[in-house]
Structure 1
Amino acid sequence: MNKTLSLLACALLVATASGAATAQKGPAATKKLYCWNENGRKVCGDALPAHAVDSARTEINAKSGLATARVDRALTAEERAATAAQTQAARQVALAAQAAALRDRAMAESYATEADLRRAFAERIAVMDETVKASRLGVEGRRQSLVSLLSRAGENELASKPVPKAMADNIRGQHDQLLHQQALLGQQQLQREAIDEAQAAALVRYHALKKPASTAGS
């Protein structure tokens, strides 16, 4: 029998089914009832209609009248996409943590002492310091060239002479190059600071990884 019942009818159906189950044995003893919300009203039935398949519902044992399962509603396409994105993000975090653990282990195995680790960073620092120094010299040289060109253009204007097109184009080109070199220098300085931060973090991890070994040996 397939029909949707009100909450009161559901209670009566559960009681009737329970009484019938005590009088006979067989498939009726395992029959299930379903309760779900429909248009703000809780309804129950001995079968789940097609339009309620995706709704949240409670499944009830017809014999005992007790809830045996609670099924959440089906997710919307947006919710499935959000869940998939969260799962992927959690997976990426887990992979990053695993990769960090592998790097730490490799670091502990690669450097026998803290001095070895510091020497490795010192080499990177020296290279970056030379790069920053060269960029600073380049910026200063480009600035002086631009100042010289601007001075000459200013003299022409003070003398009521036009600024030659070649000079104006050269000034614009020098200015663009100066801005480019300044931006590059800024990036290099940030990289230099990042090396210091990486060294500090590496030393902390190195001490944490080496401590158990030294404790065990003592």
Structure 2
Amino acid sequence: MRIGVVTFPGSLDDRDAQRAIRLAGAEPVALWHGEHDLHGVDALVLPGGFSYGDYLRAGAIASLSPIMAEVIDAANGGMPVLGICNGFQMLTEAHLLEGGLIRNEAGRFICRDQQLRIENSTSDWTTGFTANQEITIPLKNGEGSFMASSETLERLEGEGRIVARYIGVNPNGSLGDIAGVTNARGNVVGLMPHPEHAVEAGFGPDTAQAMSSGVDGLTFFTSVIARALVNA
């Protein structure tokens, strides 16, 4: 399986996402924001960072990059797409996901290992989890507070489209403790925390077993590979 990772001006975690994909057992493919070519990939990751310096709104300018026309078409055609942090912001700005992300409630950048509860284990990116499974992956953002109208929130809740919620603490003031959502089809997922930073023992969050041993993030990437094999 070939999974594309799009690099935008200001991307920080594109190489980390490529590494996570490789560790999960797929082939990462580097894609450039200025192209109109997905190079035949089977899935896509929009990585974290500060695309275009977060000018205007985080993810707003990147959502208009040339390659996003192909990303939107591919997503609407059923290709799995994962937006991580800044990538989540791009997906909302491109209207592939509902809601939006605003500045953290505390008004400052937050970086911490964050506990999550997986609410939806049926999306293309979460099938390897069990419903209500609790995981820990890093979070780092300044504009990570998920907002939506009451009608949108009611629909997301009613349709089971909340992918993950913050537990223990809501670090950025997101409505409903929402850390990630999916589209109705389940192929497009936006996640504010960073699964690509918890994919290899020795480099992840601390666990009860050992320091830096957390690898909960790897399951997001192995999930999409397993789903592709089932659908092949």
One fold, TM greater than 0.5?
no
TM-score range for the pair, normalised by the shorter chain length: under 0.3
Higher relative contact order (CA 8 A, sep 6+): 2
TM-score by length of structure 1 reads: 0.17
Q: Which protein has the bigger strand share? A: 2
Q: Which protein has the bigger helix share? A: 1
TM-score by length of structure 2 reads: 0.16
Choose 1 or 2 for highest CA Rg. 1
